[in-house]
């Protein structure tokens, strides 16, 4: 059965942005399985031309991701990322009541044998909710809808940072909390990480035009937000 086409959010002669589905790896790695599908391959096949990686999203994260349609265009955009001229905004659901706003400055390792690198994440809490369901030693379960702006781009940065501040993201099977993940599977039929790359904003490297590309919220997010009365947030 053929896979559905990727949703194209933006395209010009130099760049293309798509809405990456959760669970899809961006490109092949040394741990990939032979039969696995990859975003890079699917997009190339869909549009009939080569595309060039500019940045990445973790496999379980959904949302907007940008590619170059030439190596020169990709290099120009990579320069904007390196100079912190690209603003990335994510939405996530975290365990507990997060602070109204926060600044996480906590170095991370890309790999166990690599040195620590600076990693900074800003966030603000958009809404909170409490369920009358005991989880662990607490009589209720509390959650926060957070808007997240990573200022650096380390591997799994957002997930690791929210684990570090004791507010792991719902659906995170690597850095999260299994009892809360199970509650969301059983009560809301959520079987994914609730982390979504919502917006990407940058000055176009060639035209200078201020760009903002938005990926609509996935169905699992919409369902949870409806359950918690967060639709108007």
Active site residues: 58
Name the β-bridge partners of 161. Answer: none
Residues 40, 207: Cα–Cα separation, whole Å: 26
The answer for residues whose C-beta is within 8 angstroms of residue 68's C-beta and 6 or more apart is 14, 15, 51, 52, 53, 54, 74, 75, 76, 77
Our measurement of the distance from residue 91's CA atom to the centroid of its chain's CA atoms, rounded to an integer in Å, reads 8
Cα 174 to its chain centre, rounded Å, is: 15
**Residue given tokens 């086409």 in the structure block:** 5
């Amino acid at each position: 059965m053929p896979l559905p086409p990727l949703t194209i959010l933006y395209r010009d002669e130099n760049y293309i942005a798509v809405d990456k589905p959760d669970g899809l790896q961006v490109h092949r790695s040394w741990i990939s399985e032979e039969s696995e599908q990859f975003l890079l391959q699917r997009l190339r096949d869909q549009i009939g031309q080569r595309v060039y990686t500019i940045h990445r999203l973790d496999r379980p994260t959904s949302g907007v991701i940008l590619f170059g349609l030439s190596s020169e265009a990709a290099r120009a955009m990579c320069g904007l990322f390196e100079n912190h001229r690209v603003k990335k905004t994510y939405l996530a659901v975290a365990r507990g009541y997060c602070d109204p706003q926060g600044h996480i400055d906590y170095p991370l390792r890309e790999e166990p044998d690599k040195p620590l690198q600076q990693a900074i994440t800003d966030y603000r809490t958009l809404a909170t909710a409490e369920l009358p369901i005991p989880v662990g030693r607490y009589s209720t379960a509390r959650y926060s809808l957070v808007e997240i702006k990573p200022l650096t781009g380390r591997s799994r940065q957002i997930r690791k940072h929210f684990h570090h501040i004791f507010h792991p993201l719902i659906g995170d099977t690597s850095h999260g909390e299994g009892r809360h993940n199970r509650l969301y599977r059983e009560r809301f039929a959520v079987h994914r990480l609730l982390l979504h790359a919502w917006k990407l904003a940058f000055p176009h490297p060639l035209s200078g035009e201020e760009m903002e590309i938005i990926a609509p919220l996935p169905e699992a997010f919409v369902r949870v937000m409806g359950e918690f009365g967060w639709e108007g947030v």
